[in-house]
Structure 1
Amino acid sequence: MAENTGSLRHTVAMNVTPDEKRRNDALAERIASVLHDIRVEKEFTQDQLAVRAGLSRTSLGDVEQARKAVTAQKLLQILSALDVTMSDFFRRVEQSEQM
């Protein structure tokens, strides 16, 4: 049976409190910022990283600007292309929260 993920997302979004939304938005911003910082540190352009990760430049840009939520699969593709482990990445995200 096919799942209607659009409705599921809508239902989940309706059950999020304003505080949860603010925390989720802040986390998305930190994830985007850390991804951008790592890309720049590794001296990749968005185009170069997008090709290495198998994504469009637009898709990568949306992730880096927190315009769209990043899926686990897409995050893994990007981190693999950057040669960064998931644990190292989230350690940096956590550290960015404390700054």
Structure 2
Amino acid sequence: MTSPSVKARFGSSLRKLRDERGYSQEELAERAGLHRNYVGGVERGERNVALENIIKLARALSVPPRELFANFP
């Protein structure tokens, strides 16, 4: 069995943090200055996230960027 991709693990972390805060994808996207479809694609592991967008998402969630990598060994 193969392990989830890096993009899928990152997306899972993002979704978990978003859910913990009670944000919709649309609300997180607005707080981060990103499009809601982009946030959905990131959460589904379909997008390769740029470093600048990782920082935007972390700030919107009020967490250090390393929190988005909690699913990584």
TM class, shorter-length: 0.7 to 0.9
- Counterpart CA distance in 2 for 1:27 and 1:84 is 20
- Counterpart CA distance in 2 for 1:60 and 1:89 is 13
- Counterpart CA distance in 2 for 1:69 and 1:33 is 13
Q: TM-score, normalised by structure 2?
A: 0.87
1:15: which partner in 2?
none
Shift of 1:39: 0.2
* Bigger radius of gyration among the two: 1
Identify unmatched segments of 5+ residues in structure 2: none
| Pairing of 1:29-40 with structure 2 (within 5 A) | 29-40=8-19
- Counterpart CA distance in 2 for 1:41 and 1:26 is 23
Runs of 4+ residues deviating >2 angstroms:
87-90
Percent pairwise identity: 29
Q: Which has the higher helix share?
A: 1
Identify unmatched segments of 5+ residues in structure 1: 1-21
Q: Larger relative contact order (C-alpha < 8 A, sep ≥ 6)?
A: 2
| Pairing of 1:3-42 with structure 2 (within 5 A) | 26-42=5-21
What is the count of residue pairs matched by the alignment? 72
Which amino acid counterpart does residue 64 of structure 2 have in structure 1? T
- Counterpart CA distance in 2 for 1:79 and 1:87 is 9
Q: TM-score, normalised by structure 1?
A: 0.66
RMSD: 1.7
